[in-house]
Amino acid sequence: MKLTGNLLIGANEVPASAGTMKALNPSTNQLIEPDFAFGGVVEVDMAVNLADEAFDQYSHTSLTERAAFLERIADNLDAVALPLAARAALETGLPEAQLQGEAAKAATQFRQFAEVVRKGRFLQLAIDPAQPDRQPRPRMDHRLQKIALGPVAIFGASNFPISYSVAGGDTASALAAGATVIVKAHNAHPGASEIQAKAIRKAVQDSGLPEGVFSMVRGGGNAIGEALVDHPLIKAVTFTGSEQGGMALYRRAQRRPEPIPVFTEMTSVNPTFILPRAMTARGAQIGDGFIERMLVNVGQACLKPAILIAIEGDGFDAMRAAMIKRVADAPARPMLTPGIHASYLNGLDQLQSAGARSVVEGSAAVADLDGQSALLEVDGERFLSEAALAHEVFGPAALLVKVTDQAQMLAVARALRGQLSAAMHLEEDDFELARRLLPILERRTGRIVVNAFAHPQEVSYATIHGGPFPASSDSRFTSVGMTSIERFLRPLSYQGFPDALLPEVLRDSNPFGVPRSVDGQ
């Protein structure tokens, strides 16, 4: 598939105004053709104005029309799945077969959101009919629906170049809500981003929608992202990445004359607790599975299980030996970018400076950007005294926390910051301890897993991918799953309207048969 390297702003292919870049193949540390354009404030303004012009028409499309548009995007993603995965593999060093699965997941998400739109429950329709004879004061007719916030800016992530990128869940859920979208593509995979963007743009054109429904921009530094957050016509922002980057955008958005929400998914160590009976029964199996999941994507996954907490006792040595073997056997594999690789090495140094002891390392790095896996260990007392030990290290490293008893395990749980997920491995005889641990975890995470690991995660109605700070900036919302659409919606009430002026879904005839609450019933 031929790549132009241009910015895609509405229907226009816009050349560079602020320099260019080439993609990097992290497996070889070599640059890849072609040149990709950087834009700036002018291109952001062009894209956002087109998005604002398109918003009124797009946000008022019927549920049927919008669902069909989302399905066209899914079909287009399917049509380019093989070249998309091949290009993404070149730009990330991740296995091509894995990326084919990621492309299929992206298409599936658009189809799932098409069903969400068709069913219409996300509108949360409510009708309180007029009561003209009510005393002491009559009640006027009130009707409520959720509507889209407006044009939104989406920052693509580095670690999942398709399902968290241009055609990821943020884009799918925002378009499903009726928002128009400007994506800031991540520079770690510019070719894969262009292929996805063209698939979406083609669906916009084939659906007869205004060109400003979707645009993709790219920049060489912070300026283009800051311009997106600052633009007065942008009404919400999503970001997946580091705590430092996410909070910089969040604070900037709050300093605007009109503050806007920034929905961030940032940092998490996804702690795993092995309770005593489970340790005795299957400690080695759990330890091996923990490391196996930790190594996925070379440890570059937001749901990577990074910290394992266990009481020293029966089964502990077998568990630890299984972890050591799995790490020792792990080959070094290329990490996504030079910056992520350097940050990983720095993170390992910080853990050891804070008192963590190196237990074992995997096979030595061969290429410049290879990430060598590592297992470190610390006792519970030291963990409780050094906050740095609870911070995320983005890469193929895990920390084993050896605690003395149940009380220290609970203390370690209380010391954790907000998390995307937490896991407990337990047997029936562990239920008493689990009941004590559970409320501690409920206050600190968005998802609790029993007898499994946090990764992988289903994309479903009951999925939550968010949690208390610093896992996310707003724990009321999720960035994965069908309810992620709620980030881009706000309630609007229509009072005393004649039926002909109401949105179709609120009219007495209810032509789409959408579920509605009437007088609370």
Of 302, 361, 377, 392, which one is the catalytic site residue?
302
Beta-bridge partner residues of 400: 308, 377
Burial (CB count <10 Å: 0-12, 13-18, 19+), residue 432: exposed
The whole-angstrom separation of Cα 75 and Cα 69 is: 10
| Distance separating alpha carbons of residues 230 and 255, to the nearest angstrom | 9
Query: Rounded to an integer, what distance in angstroms lies between the CA atom of residue 58 and that of residue 169?
Result: 19
Between the alpha carbon of residue 362 and those of residues 77, 114, 159, the distances in Å are: 37, 44, 21
Residue in 194, 243, 265, 377 annotated catalytic: 265
Q: Degrees (nearest 5) of the Cα angle 7, 249, 307?
A: 105
Four-residue CA torsion sign, 78, 82, 85, 87: negative
Pull the structure tokens for residue 50: 């087109």
CA–CA dist 516, 499 (Å, integer): 16
Tell me whether strands 517-518 and 357-361 are parallel, antiparallel or unpaired. unpaired
Phi-psi sector, 356: left (phi>0), alpha (psi -120 to 50), beta? beta
Angle at 271 between CA 266 and CA 276, to 5 degrees: 170
CA distance 211 to 9: 8
Nearest to 153 by CA among 134, 189, 179, 133: 179
User: Sheet holding 307-311: strands in order across?
Assistant: 357-361, 374-379, 397-403, 307-311, 272-274, 422-425, 448-450
What's the CA gap between 165 and 197, in Å, rounded? 10
Active site residue 302: yes
- The neighbouring-strand residues paired with 147 are 490
> Helix or strand or coil: residue 333?
strand
Q: For strands 370-371 and 374-379, give the pairing.
A: unpaired
CA distance 146 to 517: 13
Give the integer Cα–Cα distance in Å for 164 and 175. Answer: 15
Q: Taking a C-beta distance cutoff of 8 angstroms, is the pair 310, 279 a contact?
A: yes
Q: Report which of 242, 77, 74 is spatially closest to residue 157, judged by C-alpha positions.
A: 242
**Within 13 Å and on the Cβ side, how many CA atoms surround 42?**
8
For residue 265, indicate whether it is catalytic.
yes
Query: What amino acid positions are annotated as catalytic residues?
Result: 265, 302
